[in-house]
C-alpha cells in the first residue's frame, strides 16, 4: 500500500440534516514494471459513487430529477429547502452529463416545429418515436436545414410529420425510400376541425331542433338548472331588445330600458 486519502461524499439528508460521508481511500503501488500508472486508488462501489464524484449515486439521481423537472434556478431554490447543497449550474451540468445519447440507429422519427419565442422564432424538434426521446433540436424550420439533417441519417424508415409541405419536401429529397405518415396529434386536430366545420354548417338546423325540444327543469342537475336559467334570462333579454328595436327606439333608450350596461352588439342583432 502506498498511502491513504480522505474522500467526502454528500448523501441524502436525514431528518432535515445534511449528511456527509467521509471515506478513507487507500492508494496502492503497481508492481507491474511496464505499467504507466505507478500509483492508483481503490474504487468505491458504483452504486455508492462513481470516480471523482462528490455526491453519492442516489443524491446524484435526486439532483438530476430536480434539474429535469424544474430547471436551474427553481431547482436550486427547492433543493435548498431539501437540505441538498447544489447550485443551479450543478443542476444543469448533471442534466447534461446524464443525458442519454442515441447509440442505436434511428428507425421511426417524428418531426415538428417548436417555438423559441412564439410568433417570432421557431426551430425544428426531432424525436425517436420508438424510444420516446428527443434526438435533435434544429435552429430553424427551413427545408434546407431539415434536409441536411435527414441526409445524415439514411437509416430512417418511417417519418411522422404534420401535413405542411416544408417537412414533406425535405423528407422526399433526403429520404426518398422512407414512408411518410401524419402524426397522431395532427390527425386528431384535422379530424376535430372537420367535425366542427360540419357542425357549424348545420347550426341553423340544430338550433331549430334544440329550440323545439321541451326541457323539464325538475330533471336537471343543480349546475344544469343554473345554466338553463341563465339561458332563459338571456333569451328574454334578446327578445325584449328585438321588440324595442322594431318599435324604432334608439339604442341608448333600449339600453336604459333593458338595464344593459353597454350597447355592444345591440345595433346589428
**DSSP output for 66-86:** HHHHH-HHHHHHHHHHTT---
Give me the residue label for grid cell 431528518. Answer: 15
Pairing of strands 121-128, 108-117: antiparallel
Q: What is the pLDDT of residues 94-114, one digit of tens each?
A: 888 877 665 678 899 999 988
Phi first, then psi: give them for residue 226, nearest 5 degrees: -60, -40
Cβ atoms within 10 Å, residue 238: 13
Task: Answer yes or no: are the C-beta atoms of 127 and 109 closer than 8 Å.
Answer: yes
> What is the structure's pLDDT at 268?
44
Note the pLDDT tens digit of each residue in 169-205: 999 999 999 999 988 888 888 899 999 999 899 888 8
For the chain, give every domain's residue range. 3-97, 108-182, 214-258
The pLDDT value recorded for residue 265 is 45
The DSSP output letter for 218 is G
Collect all residues with Cβ–Cβ distance below 8 Å to 193 and sequence separation of at least 6.
none
Q: Please state the CATH superfamily assignment of the domain spanning residues 108-182 in this structure.
A: Ribonuclease H-like superfamily/Ribonuclease H (3.30.420.10)
Amino acid at each position: 500500500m502506498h498511502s491513504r486519502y480522505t474522500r467526502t461524499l454528500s448523501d441524502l439528508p436525514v431528518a432535515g440534516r445534511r449528511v456527509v460521508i467521509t471515506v478513507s481511500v487507500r492508494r496502492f503501488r503497481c508492481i507491474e514494471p511496464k505499467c504507466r500508472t505507478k500509483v492508483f486508488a481503490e474504487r468505491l462501489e458504483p452504486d455508492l459513487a462513481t470516480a471523482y464524484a462528490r455526491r453519492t449515486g442516489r443524491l446524484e439521481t435526486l439532483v438530476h430529477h430536480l434539474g429535469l423537472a424544474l430547471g436551474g434556478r427553481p431547482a436550486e431554490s427547492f433543493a435548498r429547502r431539501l437540505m441538498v447543497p447544489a447550485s443551479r449550474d450543478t443542476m444543469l451540468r448533471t442534466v447534461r452529463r446524464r443525458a442519454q445519447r442515441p447509440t442505436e440507429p434511428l428507425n421511426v422519427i417524428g418531426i415538428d416545429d417548436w417555438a423559441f419565442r412564439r410568433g417570432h422564432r421557431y426551430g425544428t424538434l426531432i424525436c425517436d418515436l420508438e424510444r420516446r426521446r428527443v434526438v435533435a433540436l434544429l435552429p430553424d424550420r427551413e427545408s434546407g436545414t431539415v434536409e441536411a439533417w435527414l441526409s445524415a441519417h439514411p437509416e430512417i424508415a418511417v417519418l411522422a410529420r404534420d401535413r405542411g409541405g416544408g417537412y414533406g419536401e425535405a423528407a422526399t429529397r433526403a429520404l426518398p425510400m422512407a414512408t411518410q405518415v401524419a402524426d397522431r396529434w395532427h390527425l386528431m386536430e384535422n379530424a376535430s376541425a372537420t367535425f366542427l366545420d360540419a357542425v357549424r354548417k348545420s347550426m341553423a338546423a340544430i338550433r331549430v331542433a334544440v329550440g323545439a325540444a321541451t326541457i323539464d327543469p325538475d330533471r336537471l342537475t343543480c349546475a344544469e338548472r343554473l345554466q338553463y336559467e341563465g339561458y332563459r334570462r338571456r333569451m328574454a333579454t334578446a327578445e325584449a331588445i328585438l321588440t324595442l328595436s322594431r318599435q324604432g327606439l334608439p339604442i341608448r333608450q333600449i339600453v336604459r330600458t333593458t338595464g344593459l350596461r353597454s350597447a355592444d352588439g345591440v345595433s346589428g342583432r
